[in-house]
Structure 1
Amino acid sequence: MKKRITIREIAARVGLHYSSVSLALRNDPCLPEKTRAKIKKLATKMGYVPDAALGALAAYRNSRRPHPVHSELAYLTDRAPDEPFSAAIRHYAQKQAAHLGYNLVEYNLASGDTRDLHRLQAIWWNRGVRGIMIGPVDTPAPLAGVTWEKWPVVAYGYTVPEPHFNRAVLDHFQNMLLHLKLLREKGYSRIGFILLPNIEHNTAGRIHAAWLYDHQILHPKSVPIPILDHDPQNPNVIEKWIQSNSIDVIIAYLEQYDLLAARGWRFPEDIGFSLLTRKNYHKQGVKISGFDTKTESLAANTIHFLVSLIHEQACGVLDIPRHYMISGKFHEGETLRPTPRQTPAKKRNIIA
């Protein structure tokens, strides 16, 4: 059996400490690029192959011990600190970062001295920030005007179309297909859908695409109901849309639920109601049905993804960006009719 080449043997050959060789093989930028290239070239020539078993053991031991906070991660957004969605993402991301031994610090492009992204990047470099999580951003253009090669970067969702960062995203397409399937299983056939322009933009059209695929490919005989994408805050417009299309269930948002409830609509007696994006910070007093977008899971997995890139030293905008995708989960609630129980088929008696 061929003898495994070790890091210490490479270090002895190149004349450096084994810790420097380890850093070079992990492409750590604390070593000059020329030094890293020299060590990696020698390691390849000597036939060095990382020991997967030892790597797995080290990862396991590291996951089992408590992590003191030792490095900073940046959370970049331009939304107000008290905006519920961004605040929830920040909260769960900070919790996961602390679990992994990092301190996630928010930097807001819309306030104070942090509006200049070039200045922010200088601050990050001086503070030794290890990686950048980009949260929801309403004005993404400035992010394309700077370079990112010093840090691993992961964007939450699709609010920043360019640069083409690594992303942690919801599987919007499959989530919507499953949402529609579950509604049909409950006996709904006249499904109305309210799609806000900002949701269309922030999901890169994936929810809309799933709606079209469901109606045109999966259920080609269904009569499509026009999507309501204007005046979603006007109850008169919503009611006219419902009545003129004989809608029996709506996929919409918490605001539309409140508007219709205030007009006396009962759920599910008068009409079914399902939230397109049910979030865990929504008011808990009303058990509204809908698709849980798992804000907490996606935020935590964004940090997990970012830390894995830090370990790889995968900095900047990669030639082939990576996407970390998770699914949501349907919440039954009380605003939809129950799914009919399927009667099991009777077993046929076989006469010998």
Structure 2
Amino acid sequence: MKERVTQTDIARAAGVHNTTVSLSLRNSRLIPLETRERIQSIARSLGYSPDPALRALAAYRNACRQQRRAETLVYLTRGDTRQGWRQSPVEGIYFTAAERRATELGFNFRHMWLDEPGMNPRRLDRMLAHEGIRCLLLAPHLPIGETLDTMDWSRLCAVRIGNSSLLAPDLNQVSTDVGAIVRLALRQVLLAGYQRPGLVLPRRTDELADRTWSAAFGAEQYRRNLPSLPVLLLPDSPVECSHALVSWHRLHRPDVVLGVSPLVRPLLRQSGFEVPASVAYVDLLLQDVLGTLAGVQGNHARIGELAVELLNAQLEKNQFGLPTVPTITSVAGRWCDGASLPSRRPATDEQPAAILPANLVA
């Protein structure tokens, strides 16, 4: 059996000390970039691969070892007030889960508000550098491309939370799997006997998510050969919202509304639609799991935890700055039955036929 290439072999080939090889393979910035790249290239040419068992042992020992100085992880938010973002239940869950997981991993967890009086991206950048803070979690509501372009990302280890792939800088992110949520919801809607589903959400919500909600819904309409009801993107004005909803419903006659906002369900009521008597309703960001509403409950706590775990993994690998190829970790949700989507099928009815065109599968 061919012997495993060791770091000693790499050190001998590169003409450097074993410690230099070890630090270079961990991408440590204690070693000049040119030297790191040269040693990593030599390691690849020799066929070096780390021993998974030894790596697991090292990770375990590092986790058990008491750190002399804990890293500080900053959770960055913005808004009209310091705690205004907590009005969104989902964002509160993200924050709480991230704080809990960060504490478990040994971080000092700290909230910073970008819109604090006197604060701006350049001052934030200086504060982080002065305090030696290298770890940053960006909350989902941040209009990142508009505010943080001027920061020095090369010394930061950062991760984004939420669906906002359109906005720069391109950091690794953890977010809801919008496509999976829409597919799951429409599958349940069709199984319940509905035939004309329509999607309603605030225009701003779709824009911040890089239009993934409307795109996913349109793709499923085509894939399942459903009536092409246009997505209703609600305007900012509450009065205009109600008028738009009534006009849209009158013109397109959906038998079930899929909503992507806590505003949609009350808006239906305010506009004169009784759920489910007038129209059935499915909440794609379900918070109420008491059986009143049907919908998909996102695993928001897991998203917050995974964001911290991803950041911690980047830190351990010395991956600072903007990634060359940004990644998106998508987290699926789970279906919850509810009274807002009563079945239209007799109890003895079989599974619906021809939900999909013949050349497609579920």
User: Is the TM value for this pair above 0.5?
Assistant: yes
Matched, 1:186 2:192: yes
Letter of the structure 2 residue corresponding to residue 246 of structure 1: R
Q: What is aligned with 1:326?
A: 331
Match of 2:258 among 243, 251, 254: 251
Unpaired stretches in structure 1, ≥5 consecutive residues: 346-352
Q: What is aligned with 1:311?
A: 316
Aligned CA distance change for structure 1 residues 133 and 334 (closer, same or farther; 3 Å): same
Unpaired stretches in structure 2, ≥5 consecutive residues: 352-362
C-alpha separation between the residues in 2 aligned to 1:123 and 1:30? Answer: 23
Q: Is residue 201–residue 264 contact of structure 2 (8 Å, CA) maintained in 1? A: no
Q: What is aligned with 2:73?
A: 73
Q: TM-score, normalising length from structure 2?
A: 0.79
SS of 2:311's equivalent in the other structure is: helix
Matched, 1:145 2:153: no
Q: Is residue 305–residue 324 contact of structure 1 (8 Å, CA) maintained in 2? A: no
1:1-352 to 2 correspondences below 5 Å: 1-4=1-4, 6-7=6-7, 18=19, 21-33=21-33, 36=36, 40=40, 48-59=48-59, 70-79=70-79, 80-84=82-86, 85=88, 86-113=91-118, 115-140=119-144, 141-159=146-164, 161-219=167-225, 222-231=226-235, 233-234=238-239, 235=242, 237-252=244-259, 253-261=261-269, 265-279=273-287, 287-338=292-343, 340=345
Cα displacement string for residues 177-228 of structure 1 (whole angstroms, at most 9, x for unaligned residues): 2211211111111223212111111211111112212223321xx4333332
Deviates more, 1:157-166 or 1:311-320: 157-166
C-alpha separation between the residues in 2 aligned to 1:305 and 1:218? Answer: 35
How much has 1:256 moved relative to structure 2?
A: 3.0
How much has 1:3 moved relative to structure 2?
A: 4.8
Q: Is residue 70–residue 101 contact of structure 1 (8 Å, CA) maintained in 2? A: yes
Aligned CA distance change for structure 1 residues 31 and 72 (closer, same or farther; 3 Å): farther
How much has 1:61 moved relative to structure 2?
A: 6.0
Letter of the structure 2 residue corresponding to residue 178 of structure 1: L
Q: Is residue 135–residue 157 contact of structure 2 (8 Å, CA) maintained in 1? A: yes
Letter of the structure 1 residue corresponding to residue 120 of structure 2: D
Q: Is residue 159–residue 310 contact of structure 2 (8 Å, CA) maintained in 1? A: yes
Aligned CA distance change for structure 1 residues 297 and 44 (closer, same or farther; 3 Å): closer
Aligned CA distance change for structure 1 residues 316 and 9 (closer, same or farther; 3 Å): same
Q: TM-score, normalising length from structure 1?
A: 0.81
SS of 2:284's equivalent in the other structure is: strand
C-alpha separation between the residues in 2 aligned to 1:269 and 1:306? Answer: 47
Cα displacement string for residues 212-271 of structure 1 (whole angstroms, at most 9, x for unaligned residues): 12223321xx43333322457344543443344333211123323224445775432332
Aligned CA distance change for structure 1 residues 189 and 60 (closer, same or farther; 3 Å): farther
Q: Is residue 185–residue 339 contact of structure 1 (8 Å, CA) maintained in 2? A: no
RMSD, aligned α-carbons: 3.3
Letter of the structure 2 residue corresponding to residue 132 of structure 1: L
> Aligned residues: percent identity?
23
SS of 2:99's equivalent in the other structure is: helix
Letter of the structure 1 residue corresponding to residue 70 of structure 2: H
SS of 1:121's equivalent in the other structure is: helix
Deviates more, 1:238-247 or 1:117-126: 238-247
Deviates more, 1:38-47 or 1:169-178: 38-47
Letter of the structure 2 residue corresponding to residue 223 of structure 1: P
Aligned CA distance change for structure 1 residues 105 and 342 (closer, same or farther; 3 Å): farther
How much has 1:94 moved relative to structure 2?
A: 0.8
Letter of the structure 2 residue corresponding to residue 83 of structure 1: W
Deviates more, 1:302-311 or 1:115-124: 115-124
How much has 1:62 moved relative to structure 2?
A: 5.8
